[in-house]
């Protein structure tokens, strides 16, 4: 699909060093081999060395300058990571004994490689839970100094020749922030708009979604969205944004023209901001399972360096796409 191809081509133009914390998983190995073959990134597979090498061999690949293995049990980096992790988490009660054990955890090891500038970004979650994957990213890599919040989004790739003529949208936040207030919602919208530009060089059109459109209903939950929309306009006058909008008013030109005729976004939005995690998570899964969209994510935004999560049901294709996303996020960090 052209969106996925564009992601991979753009990543190859900005190759980064990406560490994969579940290097023993066959899907991860397949994705690593494909990513390095396309020169998308230099890949570090973290995990049991013998098991990873065996899986690479079984898939007809081999280690090279852009594909390497780090086994926390034997790596020359482990002692450095152990010391640095102790220093990083000492204020939270970390002890030398706990740090020694933690350094062997592939999620910790991988995130620490990014923290220590030994890698540009990390991807996990094919085996580990989202909570464990995100926790390691938040505790070790941390929030960017200029970020108000760490949030997430899904890149939703529509089926080819979709009747709408669209090929991609962002759904946010569909994976992390449970019930953002109006300020947090406006921050999520701002981050998501920038993420669309960074990944695909598209002009964002941001819709803050609700069950109402332009005063069609009154409720405190609608007020939250309208307040967020106002805050977003104030902080980001450069963005095309609007709210509150129902999804059909945001997505369908004829409905947008009918329900919000003065809006520059209605009917043409490509960044959909959901009012809470219930709506976002349900919405992306309906689009994926019934609508046939490919959902890439959850992709984290607002971290000081890239770290991303995978679904435990992910395919090798999903992992390749996430490697591309993470490489492009790293390129943006370098430019910034």
pLDDT of residue 256: 95
Strand 307-309, strand 294-301: pairing: unpaired
pLDDT > 90: percent of the chain = 86
Query: Taking 80 as the threshold, does the pLDDT of residue 203 lie above it?
Result: yes
Topology of the domain covering 151-289:
Rossmann fold (3.40.50)
* Mean pLDDT confidence for 17-27: 96
- Domain ranges in the chain are 2-142+305-335, 151-289
How sure is the predictor about 335, in pLDDT bands with cuts at 50, 70 and 90? low
Q: For 212-235, b where at least 16 C-beta lie within 10 A, e where not — what string? A: bbbeeeeeeebebbbbbbebbeee
Q: What is the pTM of this model?
A: 0.89
Q: What is the CATH number of domain 2-142+305-335?
A: 3.40.50.10950
Token look-up 């926390």 returns 72
Reported as a single tens digit per residue, the pLDDT across 46-64 is: 999 999 999 999 999 999 9
Q: Distance between CA atoms of 327 and 256, rounded to whole angstroms?
A: 36
> Is 151-289 the same fold as 2-142+305-335?
yes
């Amino acid at each position: 699909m052209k969106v996925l191809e564009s992601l991979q081509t753009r990543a190859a133009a900005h190759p980064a060093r990406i560490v994969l914390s579940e290097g023993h998983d066959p899907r991860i190995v397949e994705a690593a081999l494909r990513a390095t073959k396309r020169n998308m990134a230099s890949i570090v597979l973290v995990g049991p060395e013998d098991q990873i090498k065996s899986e690479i061999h079984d898939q007809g690949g081999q280690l090279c300058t852009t594909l390497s293995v780090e086994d926390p049990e034997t790596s020359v980096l482990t002692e450095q990571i152990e010391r640095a992790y102790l220093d990083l988490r000492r204020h939270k009660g970390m002890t030398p004994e706990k740090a020694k054990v933690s350094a062997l955890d592939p999620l910790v090891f991988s995130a620490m490689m990014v923290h220590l500038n030994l890698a540009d970004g990390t991807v996990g979650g094919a085996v580990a839970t989202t909570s464990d994957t995100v926790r390691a990213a938040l505790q070790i890599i941390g929030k960017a100094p200029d970020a108000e919040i760490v949030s997430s989004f899904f890149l939703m790739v529509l089926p080819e020749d979709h009747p709408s003529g669209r090929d991609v949208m962002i759904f946010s936040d569909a994976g992390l922030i449970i019930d953002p207030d109006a300020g947090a919602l406006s921050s999520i919208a701002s981050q998501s708009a920038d993420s669309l530009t960074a990944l695909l060089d598209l002009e964002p059109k941001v819709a803050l979604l609700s069950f109402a459109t332009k005063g069609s209903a009154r409720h405190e939950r609608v007020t939250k969205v309208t307040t967020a929309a106002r805050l977003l306009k104030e902080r980001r006058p450069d963005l095309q944004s609007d709210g509150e909008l129902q999804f059909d008013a945001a997505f369908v030109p004829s409905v947008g023209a009918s329900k919000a005729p003065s809006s520059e976004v209605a009917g043409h939005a490509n960044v959909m901001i959901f009012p809470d995690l219930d709506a976002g998570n349900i919405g992306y899964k309906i689009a994926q399972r019934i609508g046939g969209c490919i959902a890439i994510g959850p992709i984290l935004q607002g971290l000081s360096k890239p770290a991303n999560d995978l679904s435990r049901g992910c395919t090798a294709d999903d992992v390749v796409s996430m490697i591309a996303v993470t490489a492009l996020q790293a390129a943006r960090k370098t430019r910034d």
